[in-house]
Amino acid sequence: MKSSAVIKTALLNYKENELIHASKLYRKELVNQISEAAFYKTLERMCKSGELVKIAKGTYHLPKVSKYGIVPPSEKEIVSAFTKNGTGTVVGYALYNSLNLTTQIAKSIEVMSSALESFTKTIRNITVHQVQIDYSKSIENMIHALEVLQNYYTIQDMNYSAFIAFTKELADEYNEETFRKVISTISYKKSTIAFLQEILNFYGKENNLNMYLSNLSEYKYPKMEELYETARVSI
């Protein structure tokens, strides 16, 4: 069977505008049928003929055609390719906005994903970072919490009342084992861990975060009493 026929058969498993990661497709389905050189040469020919669209290096999709022409994948479709089935999560301003911590609209979208084979990939305004971790709901929530705390000082137009509500929920749901799983994979600043400890201690949530901190160091983070006062006067 010709390489083009082999590839087209494999592509029957994909919907229009569904992202196709070329290296993964080759390794999982075609490595024993055609050479890697022939595989990529065929993809190149299919792009030239309009049968396939290259959206980024190593990433393609089957074209979706309307009466107005080719309809490119939406932001939602691209993000979903890296987050569906517990393979990733959205961080950055898109996260802060979804938590009502700010009204600032994300100009770009940041994603952490285990579905990415390279370290980083940018598709239009979406940047995906490879982070190999099991994105269960508890892990995802812990990542969200640590991302917010780490970037607290850079979040513009902070809704302090929403932030206070966020800290309460964080303390209620905090689980030490989940925290350990996250920081064993993702590196966070000591000041972020100290901020988390400040929140947990304020709400009386037992924790062992001292083991990650030094008594000889001073860490910069906001105090909860000050945050409550800021939230009160900003109402």
Domain boundaries, given as residue ranges, for the chain: 3-71, 76-234
Whole-angstrom distance, CA of residue 21 vs CA of residue 233: 50
Torsion angles phi and psi, residue 115, rounded to 5: -85, -5
- How high is the pLDDT of residue 1? 58
- C-alpha span between 134 and 174 (Å, rounded): 17
What is the reported pLDDT for 235?
65
For each of the chain's 235 residues, which pLDDT tens digit applies? 578 899 999 999 999 999 999 999 999 999 999 999 999 999 999 999 999 999 999 999 999 999 888 899 999 999 999 999 999 999 999 999 999 999 998 899 999 999 988 899 999 999 999 999 999 999 999 999 999 999 999 999 999 999 999 999 999 999 999 999 999 999 999 999 999 999 999 999 999 999 999 999 999 999 999 999 998 887 6
Pairing of strands 109-113, 126-130: parallel
Is residue 94 within 8 Å of residue 150, measured between CB atoms?
Answer: no
Tell me: domain 3-71, CATH 1.10.10, correct?
Answer: yes
Dihedral, CA of residue 118, residue 59, residue 98 and residue 106, to nearest 10: 90
